[in-house]
Homo-oligomer: A and B are copies of this chain.
């Protein structure tokens, strides 16, 4: 899994990076000879790394120390130090897979401690000389901090503006940053709204850094305020990740971790690919959520509407994959207002990663009234009628269909059905609202139809019937594929009408009537 990141580190010539490879020749199944006989040193050389081998760390650490010194002196490329080690060193089971996952047992543990000249009776023992070294380090650190603070204070006295800008890079602003966005009243794809937003916030958040996995022109993530980050242009903020989705996400986690190690926020990483390729990065995206890293994921081409690339590129399950993970906000905005809301939410949430899913194709301007503030609640009444008989819930590119179908149903002369439209760009935020707010939006006990060009899984929470994808997609022009799978005003209108009819004279299952305890 480290191949992608290592290859990019070599390309970028990351001279500050030193990797210690604990080469103990053991995997869980047994000897690495069972499955892993590649020449790792040569592989890292092929990535453009400097490689050292340290043959012996059992009889002293001099050889390793020297290698680290040499690594530090090379600043134009990363270094990998391959260290010949013995797993479970000192234990009777040393050099075997048995020491990987299982406890040593009392007897072997005592013998192992003895082999290190430790007292086998003591646990979590820190020797005095070690304590001294760390205490001295703490004093040195305190002193260095005091000196730095004095220097910074005098700098601030003479360079107030620059000092404040620097401070904003160290600690999160006490109040939420007010972000400004340009005007836009054009009908566009939400990926284009995303481009506007990203380029609006990038100059306002100098710590924003990131890029795309070789889909810059499709994800529309180019930063107009900055060039590429390359070894020749280390000031650039745009990272060319290459076709390395997993590595990209893992690198963003690393960038965030680097800054959040303090209580500061030096870097706000973002990255981008097609939504369906989240499947190649999910292991690392999960770690964004688990580690509480506010990484921003921009994922375009978010449905079967992307067209001819066909089912391999068309996400079906991906929205649900992401919504199932704890601590991720998954946005699928429908217009510019909602896209702005998603960006504000991403910036505000330092401890929750945000995924913004955006369409490839141009969406119609909504006739309903979207606005940033309402969208920030995650779900809201976009268009209403008195005493609704039907509720349509949609997200992203399907909201336009819902609005058109609602207009048709509400206003037609024969058998009109009063239809409310709920836009739900972010389920997680909607579910974090007060129960009373949720009920005011979804009412409960009213036939409710959700429309999303994605898997059905998860929507039964909100709706009695779903227009959704129950299979993989198909290759064809985006509009035709959408039509083929029933994402049309006609089908939404028809299914809405049928749903109302189905429940006529019956009690509609009230999905909001669920206990909370």
Q: Which residues of A contact B (CB under 8 A)?
A: 1, 3-4, 7-8, 10-11, 27-29, 34-43, 45-48, 101, 212, 214-218, 228, 230, 240-244, 246, 277, 279-280, 282-283, 286-287, 289-290, 311-312, 316-317, 320-321, 323-327, 455, 457-458, 460-461, 464-465, 469-472, 495, 498-499, 502, 506-507, 509-511, 513-515, 517
What are 13 contact pairs spanning A and B, CB under 8 A?
A11-B38, A27-B214, A28-B216, A29-B240, A39-B47, A45-B46, A279-B286, A282-B321, A317-B321, A320-B458, A325-B455, A460-B511, A498-B515
- A513 close to B506 (CB less than 8 A): yes
Given contacts A1-B280, A40-B46, contact A214 B11 (CB under 8 A): no
- B457 close to A457 (CB less than 8 A): yes
Given contacts A36-B11, A42-B45, contact A290 B214 (CB under 8 A): no
- Smallest CB–CB gap between A470 and chain B, Å? 7
Please give, as numbers and ranges, the residues of chain B lying within 8 Å of A510 by CB-CB distance. 507, 509
4 other A-B residue contacts (CB within 8 Å) besides A40-B46, A316-B325, A327-B471 = A7-B38, A29-B240, A246-B280, A290-B312
8 shortest A-B CB distances, which residue pairs? A35-B242, A317-B324, A42-B46, A320-B324, A460-B461, A509-B509, A43-B46, A279-B283
Nearest CB in chain B to that of A103: its residue:
B308
- A214 close to B28 (CB less than 8 A): yes
Name, among A29, A312, A472, A502, the residue most crowded by chain B CB atoms within 10 Å (CB to CB). A29
Please give, as numbers and ranges, the residues of chain B lying within 8 Å of A27 by CB-CB distance. 214, 242-243
Report the Cα distance A289→B214, complex, angstroms.
Answer: 26
Please give, as numbers and ranges, the residues of chain B lying within 8 Å of A280 by CB-CB distance. 1, 246, 282-283
Please give, as numbers and ranges, the residues of chain B lying within 8 Å of A240 by CB-CB distance. 29, 34-35
- Smallest CB–CB gap between A466 and chain B, Å? 9
Report the Cα distance A28→B301, complex, angstroms.
Answer: 15
- Smallest CB–CB gap between A332 and chain B, Å? 15
Given contacts A29-B217, A35-B8, A214-B27, contact A317 B286 (CB under 8 A): yes
- Smallest CB–CB gap between A298 and chain B, Å? 15
Report the Cα distance A495→B287, complex, angstroms.
Answer: 32
Report the Cα distance A286→B316, complex, angstroms.
Answer: 10
Given contacts A29-B212, A38-B7, A280-B1, contact A465 B325 (CB under 8 A): no
CB contact between A214 and one of B29, B47, B243, B279 (< 8 Å): that residue: B29
Given contacts A29-B240, A228-B34, A317-B286, contact A465 B47 (CB under 8 A): no
Report the Cα distance A279→B514, complex, angstroms.
Answer: 32
- B458 close to A457 (CB less than 8 A): yes
Report the Cα distance A469→B326, complex, angstroms.
Answer: 9
Report the Cα distance A279→B250, complex, angstroms.
Answer: 13
- A39 close to B29 (CB less than 8 A): no
- Smallest CB–CB gap between A203 and chain B, Å? 22
Report the Cα distance A491→B28, complex, angstroms.
Answer: 37
- A514 close to B35 (CB less than 8 A): no
Given contacts A215-B28, A283-B280, A495-B517, contact A509 B506 (CB under 8 A): no
Nearest CB in chain B to that of A465: its residue:
B515
Report the Cα distance A196→B231, complex, angstroms.
Answer: 55
Please give, as numbers and ranges, the residues of chain B lying within 8 Å of A502 by CB-CB distance. 515, 517
Report the Cα distance A1→B273, complex, angstroms.
Answer: 15
Please give, as numbers and ranges, the residues of chain B lying within 8 Å of A241 by CB-CB distance. 35
- A457 close to B324 (CB less than 8 A): yes
- Smallest CB–CB gap between A454 and chain B, Å? 9
Please give, as numbers and ranges, the residues of chain B lying within 8 Å of A38 by CB-CB distance. 7, 10-11, 46-48
Nearest CB in chain B to that of A310: its residue:
B290
- B46 close to A39 (CB less than 8 A): yes
Nearest CB in chain B to that of A325: its residue:
B317
Report the Cα distance A11→B37, complex, angstroms.
Answer: 6
Nearest CB in chain B to that of A101: its residue:
B218
Report the Cα distance A489→B244, complex, angstroms.
Answer: 46
Nearest CB in chain B to that of A309: its residue:
B101
CB contact between A517 and one of B242, B321, B498 (< 8 Å): that residue: B498
Report the Cα distance A166→B37, complex, angstroms.
Answer: 34
Please give, as numbers and ranges, the residues of chain B lying within 8 Å of A3 by CB-CB distance. 3-4
- A37 close to B48 (CB less than 8 A): yes
Please give, as numbers and ranges, the residues of chain B lying within 8 Å of A243 by CB-CB distance. 27, 36
Report the Cα distance A214→B34, complex, angstroms.
Answer: 9
Nearest CB in chain B to that of A460: its residue:
B461
